[in-house]
Amino acid sequence: MTVTPAGGPASNRFTETLKRLHRRYVGLVPPMSFVIGFTYDTFTLKRIDLLFDNLLLLSYLFLSSIALIVLGRIDLRHTERKFFIERQNWCVVLLHFCMGSLFSAYTILYFKSAAVGQSYIFVALLVLILLVNEFVRHGLSQLKMLLIMHTFCSFAFFTFFLPVMTSRMDLETFVNGGLLSMALTAFIWLGIYGLNIKGLWREKYGVFLPPGLLFVLMCLVYTMNWIPPVPLSVQEIGIFRGVRKTEEGRYEVRYRKPTDWEVGRRDDRIFEYTPGDTVFCYTSVFAPTEMKQRIIHHWQWFNKEGEWTTTDQIGYDIVGGRDGGWRGFTRKKNVGPGRWRIDVMTEDGKVIGRVPMNIILVKRRPTEMARELK
């Protein structure tokens, strides 16, 4: 039996194979690393208010920052250490994996949430940055794009990390998260340029202006309600004919019994209404432990002028910490036919969920069925 020594022909062939694959698919390495990091955390992170998960995310933030400093110093020839140069490709993989993981922590709740639509705007901004980065393949310009991506992902991280740590969720907390991401970006640039402060000052507009514009844009879309108010998220939402709390602490809901071809229907968003009926809107809203918020259901009707008119604002308080979210419901009688929707909002007007409803007048009350929600 022949044993091939370490570093022998078999080892060399394997190394050469890896190098050929890397040269062939080098352009796919950064986006694939990002996607793998994003997917990994989507399936492994349980709750964003758990100590272990937050320590893991903080480690991603630290490692991605170090990787950026190393790559920046190599690209700008501020270091010639062989140890770093030989591991440059691994730094690229590590950087994009960590950024994907950081961003996934923001969106993980919304891919499982009834309010997923709002997070698309946030995701769209990231996809745009990723696409632009793919067309920038040289020197300082690529480094600047990587810093913008990192600023974006760290902003996403601080957006939910600060509310978890402080049990506060408001515009001031959101802005503070953005300022922290900007400070981290400045620290990374200082790490890249080191003692060459004059070189950094010559590039000041290209270095600090894009992250600054990103910061302003993020604050703008937040105030315009275009992105969800992390870390709150609607876990379940539905329209029912009746809702009651059972002795076991669960909620029993009633809705029209589906026909054989209505596969998957589990509430009454098309509501067959008879005089005297009451319409119920049930929601479960996740919030981190110790966070207290007041949730308001805005009942809105699409009037004849083609505008949404709020007819009722009914609120209740929630307390964070429950895996399935804090459960509650509101109800309304004497609703007219037509298009309705219920916006689930915070007290300061941030939309965290929405359910559409169509009221249809019928002569006979439909047959109902019941099920329990945990």
Distances (CA, A) of 88 to 23, 25, 74, 276, 373: 14, 16, 8, 70, 51
Neighbour count for residue 167 (Cβ, 10 Å): 16
The percentage of residues in the chain with a pLDDT greater than 90, rounded to a whole number, is 38
pLDDT, residue 19, reads: 57
For 167-207, the DSSP string reads: S--SHHHHHHHHHHHHHHHHHHHHHHHTT-HHHHHHTHHHH
Confidence at residue 1, expressed as pLDDT on a 0 to 100 scale: 39
The whole-model pTM stands at 0.78
d(CA 209, CA 113): 35
Domain 233-373 CATH assignment equals 3.30.230.10 = no
Confidence at 4, pLDDT banded by 50, 70, 90: very low
pLDDT over 60 at 358, yes or no:
yes
Q: Name which of 28, 183, 16 is nearest 92 in CA terms.
A: 28
Q: 3-class SS at 112?
A: coil
Task: Quick: pLDDT tens for 310-331.
Answer: 999 999 999 988 887 899 999 9
CA of residue 23 relative to chain centroid, distance: 33
pLDDT (tens digit, 9 = 90+) per residue, 171-203? 899 999 999 999 999 999 998 888 778 878 888
Which residue ranges make up each domain of the chain?
9-223, 233-373
Q: pLDDT digit string (tens) for 72-102?
A: 888 877 767 777 777 788 888 898 888 888 8
pLDDT at residue number 61: 94
pLDDT above 80 (res 8): no
